[in-house]
Amino acid sequence: GRAADGRPPAAAKAGAKAAFVFAGKWTPPVVMNRLIGHRLANRLLRALVPGTEGYGGFRAYYDLCTASSFRRKAKALGFAVEYEYVSYYSSSYFQFFLPLHMLSILGDYLRQMLSIRDLASMNLFVLRKE
């Protein structure tokens, strides 16, 4: 399980495992979401991505949403990172407009070539309580 705020549970028993998947704080769609605000982001989401009504557009917080800050917090709570995977692809958000989609793919490729884990679009962690 996980805490209501998305952080690793501190009260887990030794040997317990937990898996977490979260968007990276510095991926372009997340940065745009933070810049334009919740209300406008929801309106754009509904207009540009049909079928998101009812499950998309939740309020999101990104304070621990980099690989390094999540890893640091997990360790502070007594968890060992058993598995970590990052992905730099986030261009599907921009499929509604081909030039922007192509530019986004180029950005994804550049971030992947740099291999800076904190710039990842998606993070997957499997933790084990020590």
- Give the span between the Cα atoms of 92 and 64, in whole angstroms: 23
Phi, psi (rounded to 5 degrees) for 108: -60, -45
Q: How confident is the model over 55-75, as a mean pLDDT? A: 87
Q: What string of DSSP letters covers 39-64?
A: HHHHHHHHHHSTT-TTTS------TT
The pTM of this model reads 0.75
> Could you tell me which residue, 83 or 62, shows the higher pLDDT?
83
47-61, 75-89, 91-105, range with greatest mean pLDDT: 75-89
